[in-house]
């Protein structure tokens, strides 16, 4: 087999492969044997149909299948022989149809990882902000909890809406004088407050009395999830049916028990749990920002091309994670009418940074001869299990596939490369 390799770009190779006639003949022989066993032709028993008859009836089908099989087999062999590791499915072009007794020739363009010789990755100047959790942050989280456990009660002694009141309304709307999907509802709770209508704030209700009706025009965004409403303006009529006040529970031990977390019986214990959770969250945020700063600083000193397929695959993974998150929240993604093309465009820069960072860290690990042992992988599994609050055995079960183990191995290797960058960096406190 004759193989020629051409460098199209730092991330693309073109392989030209010539398969000798004798190998073509062997594959054709095997194909016709298989067809002969399956074929049913009048006057012949399966497995006893002459080759000439099979060729007359199945030639185009067999030659097409053999061409495809030869490409699949020989491309893998050719890439391995030339030390090429594709990162995506090759783009194959046949030099012509397969012809018995002649050389079968095709070319394949394939993306590869760039060859990176990392430089100047020691002594990176970066800023690290220490995580800070103060009493105000703890108090803000407590208030969020109070809001969650609060309830709307009828407002007594007043029928005129003041700013900040909760209001119960009936509403109906039209576009160009005609009703639209979801235009009408009763007993909807909104705020009599300044702000966006789509966020539930109706400033026009301020100063209105129970029973009054207000009218307003509500423009819909050009990228609204409902395609029929995009760029349209709805005329809305709202009737104020009642006023409500949000009653919040007192901050005491009873409230701590109301939250329902096992082991939290006092307000002080609840505050301690909140502070601990905030400290862990802020540490993760600080660590993440520090790692991003290290990677960006290293990338600023190392420029290289990236295989487009790796970026697209990363975007795919990001979208899958988003869909899974929505599903866990009980949202049906099919009903959200997401603009996938826009989402992909919004994620592209982040995905590109992620891929470039991963490639550079891998190159650093290679240059520094960083090795990963079974104990390193096990330690990372234990850390992930503790962080997620799941049994280690469950996580180990999820990581049984070769693909999952390989991804975990790469992650641990990248983390070690990052630790090397951090140890050698010039760090300023932020």
**pLDDT at position 156 over 80:** yes
The DSSP secondary structure of 86-118, one letter per residue, reads BSS--EEEESS---TTS-EEEEEEEEB------
Range of the domain at 302: 257-429
pLDDT in tens, 3-34: 999 999 999 999 999 999 999 999 999 999 99
Q: Which of 226, 247, 268 is the last residue of a domain?
A: 247
Same structural domain for residues 243 and 333? Answer: no
Confidence of residue 190 (pLDDT cuts 50, 70, 90): very high
**Contact yes or no for 127/177 (Cβ under 8 A):** no
Nearest to 88 by CA among 247, 252, 259, 309: 309
Together in a domain, 187 and 278: no
Q: Which CATH number fits the domain that encloses residue 65?
A: 3.30.70.1050
Q: pLDDT over 70 for what percent of the chain?
A: 98
Weakest mean pLDDT among 50-54, 150-154, 363-367: 150-154
| Tokens (6 digits) for 82 | 């030339």
Instruction: Please report whether residue 186 resides in a domain.
Output: yes
**Together in a domain, 233 and 335:** no
In a domain, 146, yes or no: no
**Cβ partners under 8 Å of residue 397, min gap 6:** none
Q: Are residues 274 and 375 in the same domain?
A: yes
Do 413 and 338 reside in the same domain of the chain?
A: yes
Tens-place pLDDT, residues 287-345: 999 999 999 999 999 999 999 999 999 999 999 888 888 777 777 766 666 778 888 99
Q: Are residues 156 and 103 in the same domain?
A: no
CATH code, domain carrying 382:
1.10.3120
**Single pTM value for the model:** 0.74
Q: Are residues 402 and 327 in the same domain?
A: yes
Mean pLDDT, range 381-409, rounded to an integer: 85
Assess whether 183 and 287 both reside in one domain. no
State whether 278 and 421 are in the same domain.
Answer: yes
Domain boundary among 222, 247, 272: 247
Element of type H or E holding 190: strand 185-191
């Amino acid at each position: 087999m004759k193989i020629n390799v051409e460098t199209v770009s730092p991330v693309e190779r073109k392989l030209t492969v010539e398969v000798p006639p004798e190998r073509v003949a062997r594959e054709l022989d095997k194909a016709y044997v298989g067809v002969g066993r399956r074929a049913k032709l009048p006057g012949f028993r399966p497995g006893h149909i002459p080759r000439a008859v099979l060729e007359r009836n199945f030639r185009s089908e067999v030659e097409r299948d053999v061409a495809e099989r030869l490409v699949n087999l020989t491309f893998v062999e050719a890439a391995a022989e030339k030390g090429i590791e594709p990162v995506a499915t090759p783009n194959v072009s046949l030099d012509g149809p397969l012809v018995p007794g002649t050389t079968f020739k095709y070319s394949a363009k394939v993306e590869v990882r760039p060859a990176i010789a990392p430089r100047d990755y020691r002594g990176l100047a970066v800023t690290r902000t220490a995580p800070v959790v103060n009493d105000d942050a703890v108090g803000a989280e407590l208030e969020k909890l109070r809001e969650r456990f609060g309830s709307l009660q009828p407002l007594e002694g007043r029928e005129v809406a003041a700013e900040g009141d909760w209001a119960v309304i009936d509403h109906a709307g039209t576009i160009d004088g005609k009703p639209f999907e979801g235009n009408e509802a009763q007993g909807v709770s909104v705020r009599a407050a300044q702000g966006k209508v789509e966020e539930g704030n109706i400033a026009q209700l301020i100063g209105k009395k129970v029973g009054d009706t207000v009218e307003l025009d509500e423009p819909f965004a050009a990228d609204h999830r409902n395609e029929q409403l995009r760029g349209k303006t709805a005329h809305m009529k709202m009737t104020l049916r009642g006023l409500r006040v949000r009653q919040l529970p007192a901050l005491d031990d009873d409230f701590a028990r109301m939250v329902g977390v096992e082991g939290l019986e006092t307000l002080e214990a609840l505050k301690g749990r909140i502070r601990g959770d905030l400290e862990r969250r802020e540490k993760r945020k600080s660590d993440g920002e520090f790692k991003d700063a290290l990677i960006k600083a290293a990338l600023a000193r190392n420029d290289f091309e990236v295989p487009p397929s790796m970026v697209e695959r990363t975007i795919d993974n990001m979208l899958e994670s988003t869909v899974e998150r929505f599903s866990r929240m009980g949202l049906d993604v099919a009903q959200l009418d997401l603009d996938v093309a826009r989402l992909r465009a919004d994620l592209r820069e982040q995905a590109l940074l992620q891929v470039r960072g991963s490639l550079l860290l891998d190159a650093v690990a290679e240059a520094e001869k960083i090795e990963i042992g079974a104990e390193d992988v096990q330690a990372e599994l234990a850390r992930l299990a503790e962080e997620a609050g799941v049994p280690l055995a469950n996580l180990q079960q999820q990581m049984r596939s070769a693909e999952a183990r390989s991804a975990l191995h790469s992650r641990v290797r990248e983390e070690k490369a990052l630790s090397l960058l951090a140890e050698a960096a010039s760090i300023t406190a932020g």
